[in-house]
């Protein structure tokens, strides 16, 4: 009834929940479930069944009345919606603490995010090997990003240099950036920027404890 072609503004929360559904569907698949109801899916995510159905309904009708959703089929649908049914060539910039942890982060690879390039400005790191990838000199950023056909960048550099690197990365034609530096970056309107701020969630916990905020959802 509401085909994917119909442009409707989808909320950020809906997309985030699709990620959750995807993860749970992968699990259900491993547990050899054939089908799953919105009720069961909701239970696992601590959401309401109506929420699950509404989220999915923005993109089409994937279920069977009386039966539920076919696990494998729904998983594939969500992969398509999220755009993770393909390979994304990703460059990771900054091979420090966070950066080197991310190189080996399995969830990225599982979902089609292939880190194929590493960059740093530290001479001691340049040339070194992380999980089979040689760290490149950030001096060659623009050229190498274009040659390697990179479309996404993960930024794990100090806040002080993040903006300069973003400017270069944008010049190189990258249009999606995941930023781990605790700073507000400026990008042109056509570039997608997301910030990952790990302190934020600890701060939320702190607030919740101090205020006896009854925990409800976990994002």
Partner DNA sequence: TACTTCTTGTGAACCATTTCACATGGCTTC
Partner DNA sequence: GAAGCCATGTGAAATGGTTCACAAGAAGTA
Q: Give, in order, the Cα–Cα distances in Å from 17 to each of 14, 81, 120, 172, 208.
A: 5, 12, 34, 32, 22
- Does position 54 bind DNA by CB under 7 A? yes
65-94 binders of DNA (CB under 7 A): 65-69
Range 118-177, binding a second copy (CB under 8 A): 151-152, 154, 175-177
Using CB distances below 5 to 8 A depending on partner kind, what does residue 210 bind out of a second copy, DNA, none? a second copy
CA distance linking residue 156 with residue 142, whole number of Å: 17
Residues within window 7-46 making contact with DNA, judged by CB under 7 A? 9, 11-14, 37-39
Is residue 57 a contact residue for DNA (CB under 7 A)? yes
Choose the one of DNA, a second copy, none that binds residue 204, judging by a C-beta under 5 to 8 angstroms depending on kind.
a second copy
Is 209 an interacting residue with respect to a second copy (CB under 8 A)?
A: yes
- Please list every residue from 184 through 203 that binds a second copy, using CB under 8 A: 184, 189, 191-203
Task: Select the span of 65-73, 133-141, 162-170, 205-213 touching a second copy (CB under 8 A).
Answer: 205-213
Angle in degrees, CA 145, 150, 155, rounded to 5: 80
Shortest spacing between CB 139 and a second copy, in angstroms: 25
CB atoms within 10 A of CB 27: 12
- The reply to whether 1 sits near DNA by the rule CB under 7 A is yes
Q: How many amino acids of this chain bind DNA (CB under 7 A)?
A: 28
What, of DNA, a second copy, none, does residue 1 touch, CB below 5 to 8 Å by kind? DNA
Binders in 35-94 for a second copy, by CB under 8 A: 44-46, 81-84, 88, 90
Chain contacts with DNA (rule: CB under 7 A): 1-2, 9, 11-14, 37-39, 47-51, 53-54, 56-57, 61-69
């Amino acid at each position: 009834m509401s085909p994917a072609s119909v442009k409707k503004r989808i909320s950020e929360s809906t997309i985030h929940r699709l990620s959750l559904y995807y993860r749970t569907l992968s699990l259900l698949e491993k547990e050899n479930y054939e089908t799953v109801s919105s009720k069961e899916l909701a239970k696992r995510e601590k959401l309401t069944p109506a929420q699950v159905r509404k989220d999915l309904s923005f993109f089409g009708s994937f279920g069977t009345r009386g039966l539920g959703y076919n696990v494998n089929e729904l998983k594939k649908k969500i992969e398509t919606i999220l755009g993770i049914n393909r390979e994304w060539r990703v460059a990771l910039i900054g091979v420090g603490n966070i950066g080197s942890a991310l190189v080996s982060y399995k969830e990225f690879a599982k979902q089609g995010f292939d880190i194929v390039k590493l960059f740093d400005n530290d001479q001691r790191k340049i040339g070194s090997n992380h999980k089979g990838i040689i760290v490149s000199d950030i001096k060659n950023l623009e050229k190498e990003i274009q040659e390697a056909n990179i479309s996404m960048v993960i930024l794990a550099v100090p806040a002080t240099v993040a903006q300069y690197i973003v400017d270069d990365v944008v010049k190189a034609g990258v249009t999606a950036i995941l930023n781990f530096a605790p700073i507000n970056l400026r990008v042109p309107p056509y570039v997608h920027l997301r910030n990952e701020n790990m302190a934020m969630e600890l701060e939320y916990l702190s607030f919740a404890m101090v205020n006896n905020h009854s925990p409800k959802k976990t994002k």
